[in-house]
Amino acid sequence: MANSPFTPGIAAGRLSSEVLDRNFADLHPPLDRHEALVAADRCYFCHDAPCVTACPTTIDIPLFIRQIATGTPEAAARTIFDQNILGGMCARVCPTETLCEEACVREVAESRPVEIGRLQRFATDTMMGRDSHPYERAEKTGKRVAVVGAGPAGLACAHRLAMYGHEVVVFDASPRPGGLNEYGVASYKTVDGFAQAEVEWLLGIGGIKVEQGARISDGLDLDALIKDHDAVFLGIGLAGVNALQIEGVDLQGVDDAVEFIADLRQAGDLSNLAIGRNVVVVGGGMTAIDVAVQSRLLGAETVTIVYRRGRDRMSASRYEQDLATSKGVRIVTNARPVRVVGDGAVQEAEFEYTRDVPNGLDGIGETFRLAADQVFMAIGQKLEDGSGALRIEGGKIKVDESGRTSLNGVWAGGDCATGGDDLTVTAVAEGRDAAEDIHKAIHGGLGTANETPRHGIESG
Amino acid sequence: MANLACEFVGIRSPNPFWLASAPPTDKEYNVCRAFEAGWGGVVWKTLGEEGPPIVNVNGPRYGAVWGADRRLLGLNNIELITDRPLETNLQEIKTVKRDYPDRAVVVSLMVPCVEDAWKAILPIVEDTGADGIELNFGCPHGMSERGMGSAVGQVPDYIEMVTRWCKQNTRMPVIVKLTPNITDIRYPARAAKAGGADAVSLINTVSSITSVNLDTYSPEPSIDGKGTHGGFCGPAVKPIALNMVAQIACDPESDGLPISGIGGVTTWRDAAEFLTLGAANVQVCTAAMTYGFKIVQEMISGLGDWMDEKGHASVDDVVGRAVPNFTDWQYLNLNYVTKARIDQDLCIGCGRCFAACEDTSHQAIAINPGRKFEVIDEECVACNLCVNVCPVEDCITMEELAPGAVDPRTGQDVVADYGNWTTHPNNPGACAAE
């Protein structure tokens, strides 16, 4: 092998293919049937369960776990998908440690919650392993809805609308559907092409047409969409990245973390993907963690995350921070970037220590430099320009609780819209709820989703 | 240090833990391993009469009920008595008793219900040097179809008759093993006593179907698509067994009849409970079949430690200690009033107490702000269901209301005096308290 973690500069193939395969394998391997039964048995079937309250999509967690425990994982999957059609991806990427599993009473009791995320994956994997789609469309309504963005919000919205019998066209800017599921999630959280398989499975409902390579800011005209459809849903995410205005950011080797994660996800052979020997990541969110961990897994010798505030202010969960440190990532806090130093290519990054002051953050004058062959900026994404007449608030499309924007006939949800917390699961909830509202609006609340009848329960 | 040695109907053993007549005691090999592991005695798997041995099915003999993590809660079997030649068994019994003189070796017997059959087998068993015999009047499957096992145990007259034959034809102590598949266990126990039995042992297995295969519609265990009822044993039957042991222990008509307790004994604690309810020793099968013979070491240490803690020097000190506290419902003190109390520090907020009480009981638990579950004393009848469904030990307890306190549910003062149903004003047949 020509290269190693000690190869200077930015280089590909620092690790052997075998090591790369191992490094990028499933972070949480799936439970087998018996493991699932044992894990399921730990659920107390709480009354008005705190885990359900903590779930942005309000999945009936105790019920689906009981369905697993009684040997009916497909019924469990149905319970999950009823609320969250992307339950398979959410089982993999949800920060369960700050949602359902944090709320689990067994977390309270013994600091070891029921493994809700892995159980959800067991159930959804079981059903998705079948060669069929569990939902049927209601009778066609003749209504047409445009969904912009094939990310979690758009897909959830499209599926629910299709279930109600509407015709849906999804316009997506990228070469492949999935949004951040396809381009933004760390590889080891969604292995074996799961994101594409999930989209394909979801589209199995029928009635959804996906057009790739169509971008709002680039040819796709919102006014025309409104005119041509009975409703429009925008799930366009935050496609722009925040830029840091400091000296040296144009040096070679100063890269955008989001882009790098996307490249990594799309890379056929990870041994062709170049990574720096000394990597510095600026930021404190999930993107920072994902890029830092994956840099290490690709063979970077040192990886340091530098965040301008304290650990407790990082938007990445404690669990994710620990994951990073367990992979050998160093986390430096209370330091902000001052300049990037180099001669053509980056050589060092300079930071200044900070302290919190009433109006924000203040440098204390003391600086330090980190050797860097590569500096990743992970300081947040923003709404891409081109939202036209839509009312924007705090950099996001202003929506009410039903997802309605300031424009009649236009709904929005997911990261691009106000109110959310930039999680996949929240985007799914918003897409789903907007679909419900769209359905009411364009169909007068007539008709119901064609849910498979439940045994023993009379329909009302 | 407590002395665990016991004497049961004159048979000595170093501890009260015997292996019950069952597959673990079918062969010299197994029994020697059991004794090496520390078991105090065995009841050899049931011998039948001279002649071609019985045959067992050649498909599965066991069905099971599992709890979490496939923990075996109950086992059902359709195995018959020993299927090895009588002579082989007798030879091995002789060898084992010779090699382990300090251990109890009792031989279980089941032959047709005619005196000659018993007369024939008793002397040859006696020749082995075995310490005693146990009459298998309990086995509920297979042999019962041939007029033996529980077919005898379900007819007190037959029990008495066969017991008498045995007592008349052997010097060995006779233990009569009872079937639980009857309505009132006291009748067969009385019959055994009337026939001269030295002791009874109980329970044998409970007639059962453990499950049905929902693909083939065959009861399990399935033999070529058909199933038959088997005998159920293991932890699941312990409550049934404890009650039956206690019923006999309390019955004046079988007063003084020694009892060997059987049925779901899995830990030292189970054993101690049987002893306190009147069993003079215990017999174990399913626990050994689940975990192997080594479990007896936990039983020995656990029982000894508990006895030390309580200051009981010998097993005899323990036997029957709970019997005086086993009474009829009508004698329970109706003036004893308790209320459920939820320890807020221990509560983990699962809400199972609420669901159980609200849906299925007395609506006596409130959900207060912050998911704080609290008992409504005005509604609490002290049923204890919340205690039983709470996953946290000691989080919910029952607190006694002191005499003089007002029970908010009834508005009545709690009285200090004992008062039961027999004298209660609502009882049409109440006798006036004197």
DSSP A270: G
CATH code at position A158: 3.50.50.60
The verdict on A311 and A370 lying in the same domain is yes
Same domain, A395 and A362: no
Alpha-carbon distance values, B95 to B35, B44, B62, B279 (Å): 13, 13, 30, 29
Interface test with B, best of A31, A45, A46 (most B CBs within 10 A): A46
Residues of chain B with Cβ-Cβ distance to A106 below 8 Å are: 348
Pairwise CB contact (< 8 Å): B348 & A108: yes
CATH number of B329-423: 3.30.70.20
A204 touches chain B (CB under 8 A): no
Cα–Cα distances (Å) from B35 to B8, B304, B371, in that order, read: 18, 19, 55
Arithmetic mean of pLDDT, B93-100: 98
Residues A55, A86 within the same domain: yes
Residue in A with minimal Cα distance to B391? A44
A166 in any annotated domain: yes
- Taking only Cα atoms into account, the Rg of chain A, rounded to an integer number of angstroms, comes to 23
> Under an 8 A CB cutoff, do B349 and A50 touch?
yes
Q: Is residue A137 part of a domain?
A: no
The verdict on residue A353 lying in a domain is yes
Interface contact B68-A38, CB threshold 8 A:
yes
As given in the structure block, the two tokens for residue A168 are 């849906």
Question: Cα–Cα distance between B348 and B358 in angstroms, integer?
Answer: 18
Strand residues in B308-395 grouped as ranges (E): 338-342, 365-368, 372-375
Tell me if B312 sits within 8 A of A73, measured CB to CB.
Answer: no
**Is residue A342 one of the residues assigned to a domain?**
yes
Residue-wise pLDDT for B188-202, tens only, equals 999 999 999 999 999
How much is the pLDDT for A219?
Answer: 64
Indicate if A377 and A402 belong to the same structural domain: no
Cβ atoms of residues B164 and B139 within 8 Å: no
Q: Inter-chain contact B69–A37, Cβ cutoff 8 Å?
A: yes
Question: Considering A360, A381, A402, which residue would you say is the last residue of a domain?
Answer: A381
Same structural domain, A274 and A375: yes
Catalytic residue, candidates B6, B113, B139, B386: B139
Q: Please name the residues in contact with B299: beta carbons below 8 A apart, sequence gap of 6 or more.
A: B15, B17, B267, B268, B271, B284
**CA distance to partner chain A, nearest, from residue B224 (Å):** 25
Residue of chain A whose alpha carbon sits nearest to that of B69:
A38
* A191 and A106 fall within a common domain: no
Same domain for A183 and A91, yes or no, is no
Q: Which helix (H) or strand (E) holds A332?
A: strand A329-332
For residue A306, give the nearest of A335, A279, A278, A347 by alpha carbon: A335
Complex ipTM value:
0.83
- Give the tens place of pLDDT for each residue, B347-395: 999 999 999 999 999 999 999 999 999 999 999 999 999 999 999 999 9
Say if residues A116 and A65 touch (Cβ distance below 8 Å). yes
Cross-strand bridge partners of residue B105: B42
Give residue A444's pLDDT: 78
- Please state the pTM of the whole predicted model: 0.88
Query: What's the rounded mean pLDDT across residues B158-171?
Result: 97
Residue A1 counted as domain residue? no
Tell me: pLDDT of B421 over 80: yes
| Nearest partner of B63 among B288, B265, B222, B237, judged by Cα | B222
Could you tell me which CATH number the domain at B6-325 has?
3.20.20.70
B357 is catalytic: no
Coil, strand or helix: which one is A133? coil
Q: Do residue A106 and residue B348 have CB atoms under 8 angstroms apart?
A: yes
| Total residues belonging to chain A | 460
CA A171, A172, A177, A180 dihedral sign is: negative
Q: In this structure, is residue A304 part of a structural domain?
A: yes
Q: Is B351 on the interface with A (CB under 8 A)?
A: yes
In a domain, A136, yes or no: no
For residue A242, the model assigns a pLDDT of: 86
Structural domain spans, chain B: 6-325, 329-423
> Same domain for A112 and A160?
no
Quick one: A423 and A439 in the same domain?
Answer: yes
Per the structure, how many domains does chain A have? Answer: 3
DSSP code at position B8: E
Residues A276 and A352 both lie in one domain: yes
CB contact at 8 A, A180 and A424: yes
- List alpha helices for B1-61, DSSP H: 28-37
Residue pLDDT, tens place only, B261-311: 999 999 999 999 999 999 999 999 999 999 999 999 999 999 999 999 999
Q: Specify the CATH number for the domain of residue A87.
A: 1.10.1060.10
On whether any CB of chain A is under 8 Å from the CB of B389, the answer is no
Q: What is the pLDDT of residue A389?
A: 83
Q: What is the pLDDT along chain A (460 residues), one digit of tens a residue?
A: 589 999 999 999 999 999 999 999 999 899 999 999 999 999 999 999 999 999 999 999 999 999 999 999 999 999 999 999 999 999 999 999 999 999 999 999 999 999 999 999 999 999 999 988 999 999 999 999 999 999 999 999 999 999 999 999 999 999 999 999 999 999 999 999 999 999 999 999 999 999 998 887 666 788 999 999 999 999 999 988 888 889 999 999 999 999 999 999 999 899 999 999 999 999 999 999 999 999 999 999 999 999 999 999 999 999 999 999 999 999 999 999 999 999 999 999 999 999 999 888 999 999 999 999 999 999 989 998 766 789 999 999 999 999 999 999 999 999 999 988 889 999 999 999 999 999 999 987 554 444 444 555 544 3
Closest-approach residue (CA) in chain B for A36: B69
Q: Given CB atoms, is A33 within the 8 Å cutoff of chain B?
A: no
Helix (H, G, I), strand (E, B) or coil at B91: helix
List Cα–Cα distances, A370 to A12, A230, A243, B117, B261, in angstroms. Answer: 22, 55, 20, 96, 76
The whole domain housing A161 covers 144-238+383-443
Strand partners, A234: A148, A412
Tell if the CB–CB gap between B352 and A46 is shorter than 8 Å: yes
In this complex, the residue of B349, B352, B354 whose CB is nearest that of residue A108 is: B349
Q: Are residues A46 and A97 in the same domain?
A: yes
**Domain identity same for A47 and A15:** no
Distance CA B299, CA B4 (A): 11
Q: Who among B69, B352, B392 is closest to A41 (CB)?
A: B69
**DSSP per-residue codes, A367-432:** EEEEE-SEEEE-S-EEPPS--TT--EETTEE---TT-B-SSTTEEE-GGGBTT--S-HHHHHHHHH
- Considering only CB atoms, which chain B residues are within 8 Å of A113? none
DSSP string for residues in A215-251: BTTBB--HHHHHHHSSEEEE-----EE-----BTTTS
CA angle A416, A419, A425 (to 5 degrees): 75
B6-325 against B329-423: fold identical:
no
| Alpha carbon distance B117, B166 (integer Å) | 10
Is A258 inside any structural domain?
yes
From the CB of residue B308, how many other CB atoms can be counted at a distance below 10 Å? Answer: 12
Q: By CA distance, what is B351's nearest residue in A?
A: A47
